[in-house]
Structure 1
């Protein structure tokens, strides 16, 4: 088996020079670098990546923690994260918490045991102090969710503004009796989206009926069940803002199951713009998050932390966009 000593002999340099060419080629003269690279090619030398990583105390692995891998929104975020990680020579290790806070906390141990070089959290439901403590010792970035008052680098949209935009669109269409299906209210972005809904209603002097605000869990099933609850309570709104697309699709299915139509009988707007939103029937009007870009920016921030580069902005807020399709229309 060809080793670094064989390469050094063939190139007539020291083993230290070969190591520098492999790790920091810019620190070696061009002519020497070319001799070493030619020797590597002639001998078909394969550097021992594991040994190199152990010497540098690095794993070339990034841990990404997701609250629910079945939620299609996260697939685009993950693609953005991985595109930057791979370009920088890192692989991504995925941890799915299944919305379990204890499991989320357990993933911190992987970072503390130095089995990964850094972590991107797409969820922030665990004790904020625990995340803060880990972030002081290891590279950590938050994406999508955030911790209020934290200095941990974060990439997200303005969920309050996005929800307000969605609600204002329904109001502009003439709807006044508007329902809201929220996400789980122990999650900061769910609270933000509910806050945006309330702001829009208040700005237009519209009353929010408490019974028309129901807490879901971001799943299709909860959207279906809570829309059916509106029917059961006899308080059918003319429009519904659902805090994510899956719940909006579930609500649409519930309306159809009652023999009614969307948007003719009830207008429904979602949030996220997942892939299925445009091909659902009817195509879903929604707030589009730049999911791929969120992933890209989050991983770029993490690379800076790992490389000990200066991070200029600790909070990156990206723009969302209202995407108008077929699930909303003017109130008759």
Structure 2
């Protein structure tokens, strides 16, 4: 097995110089660096990261706990995490908590026991077990997609404003009975998207009707049941908004089984765009989240935390885009445009993309 000593001999430098080149711990003259890299390539030397971790207490690894990895949204987030981590020299350990609080807590403990340097977690609806674990053990963590509180680093997309945009768009087309298939109770994304729905109704001068809000539990089967529930109302909706891509599939399934044509019989708009949304007939009007950038931003925030453990926690929000197609009932397409940011509560300034809580 090739060692640093072998590389040093071939390059005609000291072992310390090879170490500085490999670990990027000190500037090395370009000519010397080139000679070391050429020797590494020629001899096929592989850096022993395990041995280095014993010295530095760093494993150059990140734990990623994300549910429903098969979901296109989280798959794109994973791509963003992986690309940014690799660029920084980190590897990933991935686990699926299945949106179950008890399993999530076990997964976080398992990743911690594998001595990852930090974690990125998409939390469940009841993340208290996880937050208590990482707080007590001072585990560097970034919560992704869903918010858990101001005491942690967090990255998510805007939700309230974009859903408001969908509702006001449908209202502008003449719809006065607009339904929402909402996500899993307890998730911050569910809360914010319901807020956006109600804000859109207010902006359009429409009353809130409780029978037009149904829970789809963030998954296809639940959304199918919720859509049937909405359409069974005495005065059913003429337009429906679905609050994530999995629930869009469930809603479409229900509409198909009921023999309803979109958008001739009912309009449909959804939160979460996905790569094959424009392959449906009609093509789906959607809110597109910056999935890959969310993953990359979470890695950057975690690396900042590792470099400066004492800095105040930050919440980073990224904007979405309104992707206009034809399922809403409009003829033809328009170019995607930015979706509105989350409206600020009365008496407060609009939320910035990145926020640091006051000490």
Relative to the length of structure 2, the TM-score reads: 0.82
Partner of 1:143: 144
Matched residues in 1 for 2:60 and 2:216: separation?
Answer: 38
Matched residues in 2 for 1:77 and 1:38: separation?
Answer: 36
Q: CA deviation at 1:57?
A: 1.8
Q: Against the structure 1 CA distance between its residues 203 and 62, is the aligned structure 2 distance closer, same or farther, given a 3 Å change threshold?
A: same
Is contact 2:105-2:129 (8 Å) kept?
no
- Secondary structure at the aligned position of 1:270 is classed as strand
Partner of 2:48: 48
Q: CA deviation at 1:116?
A: 1.1
Is contact 1:245-1:277 (8 Å) kept?
no
Partner of 2:208: 208
Relative to the length of structure 1, the TM-score reads: 0.88
Matched residues in 2 for 1:43 and 1:231: separation?
Answer: 69
Single out whichever of 82-91 and 304-313 deviates more from structure 2.
304-313
Is contact 2:262-2:282 (8 Å) kept?
yes
Aligned length: 329
Q: CA deviation at 1:38?
A: 5.2
Q: Against the structure 1 CA distance between its residues 238 and 100, is the aligned structure 2 distance closer, same or farther, given a 3 Å change threshold?
A: same
Q: How does 1:302-313 map to 2 (within 5 A)?
A: 302-308=302-308
Q: CA deviation at 1:258?
A: 2.0
Q: CA deviation at 1:311?
A: 6.8
Q: How does 1:38-117 map to 2 (within 5 A)?
A: 39-41=39-41, 43-117=43-117
Partner of 2:316: 316
Is contact 1:216-1:226 (8 Å) kept?
yes
Is contact 1:178-1:208 (8 Å) kept?
no
Q: List alignment gaps of at least 5 residues for structure 2.
A: 331-359
Partner of 1:222: 222
Runs of 4+ in 1 over 6 A off after TM superposition: 309-313
Is contact 1:245-1:286 (8 Å) kept?
no
Q: CA deviation at 1:220?
A: 2.0
Q: List alignment gaps of at least 5 residues for structure 1.
A: none
Is contact 1:277-1:284 (8 Å) kept?
yes
Query: Does 1:160 find its partner at 2:151?
Result: no
Residue by residue, what CA displacement relative to the aligned partner does 1:238-270 show, whole Å, maximum 9, x if unpaired?
111111133223223322222221111111111
Matched residues in 2 for 1:12 and 1:71: separation?
Answer: 52
Partner of 1:253: 253
Is contact 1:146-1:188 (8 Å) kept?
yes
Q: CA deviation at 1:25?
A: 5.9
Residue by residue, what CA displacement relative to the aligned partner does 1:142-194 show, whole Å, maximum 9, x if unpaired?
2211123x232222122111111111111111111111110011111101101
- Secondary structure at the aligned position of 2:98 is classed as coil
Single out whichever of 47-56 and 236-245 deviates more from structure 2.
47-56
Residue by residue, what CA displacement relative to the aligned partner does 1:283-315 show, whole Å, maximum 9, x if unpaired?
111111111111111111112222338979812
Matched residues in 2 for 1:121 and 1:57: separation?
Answer: 22
Is contact 2:102-2:129 (8 Å) kept?
no
Q: CA deviation at 1:15?
A: 3.2
Matched residues in 2 for 1:99 and 1:93: separation?
Answer: 18
Q: CA deviation at 1:50?
A: 2.2
Single out whichever of 321-330 and 72-81 deviates more from structure 2.
321-330
Q: CA deviation at 1:227?
A: 1.6
Matched residues in 2 for 1:34 and 1:158: separation?
Answer: 46
Q: Against the structure 1 CA distance between its residues 215 and 17, is the aligned structure 2 distance closer, same or farther, given a 3 Å change threshold?
A: same
Single out whichever of 258-267 and 150-159 deviates more from structure 2.
150-159
